[in-house]
């Protein structure tokens, strides 16, 4: 039974490591992301509205939940993408699948400090907050502010990562 509880906790942690921030994570600093943060090229600009961000963040969470990790990574800001390559990010998630998906429900967006926008959502009764910025006419997700624990995991070697999240290779 303990192994099941640990496995369930790891599955929730894996989901959180992909694109979420728990209530216990640090808050955004008052400074905006570094000027070097630039988004991936986009065929068309995103509207700079709360409604557009709500739609984009909802799709982002659905993409993560359904295993469309390339689409998730494409929304990361440049600072977050510098932590792990797209290929390594996708490989780690595909090689280390968690339990059944938890179906996040995006609830609200609101402006935050330093140009950040806060996206609040719920997974299995737990509340989470992600940090997004409007950069280069595109909404981008900030992993560093949203989930510093994931940053630590992604900086590990693949073997260390697998051991840390509890999946075997």
Secondary structure of residue 164 in the 3-state scheme: helix
Amino acid 65: pLDDT: 86
Q: Note the pTM of the prediction, 2 decimals.
A: 0.73
Secondary structure of residue 149 in the 3-state scheme: helix
| Range from 29-33, 65-69, 160-164 carrying the lowest mean pLDDT | 29-33
Distance (Å, whole) CA 149 – CA 143? 9
Amino acid 86: pLDDT: 97
Which comes out higher in pLDDT, residue 39 or 119?
A: 119
Amino acid 83: pLDDT: 97
Average pLDDT, integer, range 66-89: 95
- Token reading at 26: 């640090």
- Using only C-alpha atoms, the chain has a radius of gyration, in whole angstroms, of 15
Helix extents (H) in 20-157: 50-65, 69-74, 78-81, 86-95, 143-146, 148-154
Residue whose tokens read 């900086």: 155
Amino acid 153: pLDDT: 93
DSSP readout, 72-89?
HHHTB-HHHHTTS-HHHH
**Domain limits of the chain?**
2-25+40-165
Instruction: Express each pLDDT in 78-120 by its tens digit.
Output: 999 999 999 999 999 888 876 446 677 778 999 999 999 999 9
Distance (Å, whole) CA 56 – CA 76? 12
Residues paired with residue 129 on neighbouring β-strands, in sequence order: 120
């Amino acid at each position: 039974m303990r192994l099941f509880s640990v496995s369930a906790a790891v599955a929730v942690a894996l989901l959180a490591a992909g694109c979420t921030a728990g209530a216990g994570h640090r808050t955004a600093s008052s400074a905006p992301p570094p000027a070097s943060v630039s988004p991936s090229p986009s065929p068309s600009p995103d509207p700079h509205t709360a409604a557009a961000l709500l739609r984009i963040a909802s799709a982002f969470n659905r993409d993560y939940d359904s295993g469309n990790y390339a689409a998730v990574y494409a929304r990361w800001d440049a600072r977050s993408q510098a932590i792990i390559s797209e290929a390594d990010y996708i490989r780690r998630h595909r090689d280390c699948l968690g339990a059944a998906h938890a179906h996040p429900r995006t609830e609200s967006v609101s402006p935050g400090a330093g140009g950040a926008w806060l996206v609040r959502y719920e997974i299995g009764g737990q509340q989470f907050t992600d940090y997004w910025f409007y950069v280069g006419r595109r909404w981008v997700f900030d992993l560093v502010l949203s989930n510093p624990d994931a940053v630590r995991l992604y900086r590990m070697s693949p073997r260390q990562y697998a051991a840390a999240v509890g999946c075997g290779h």
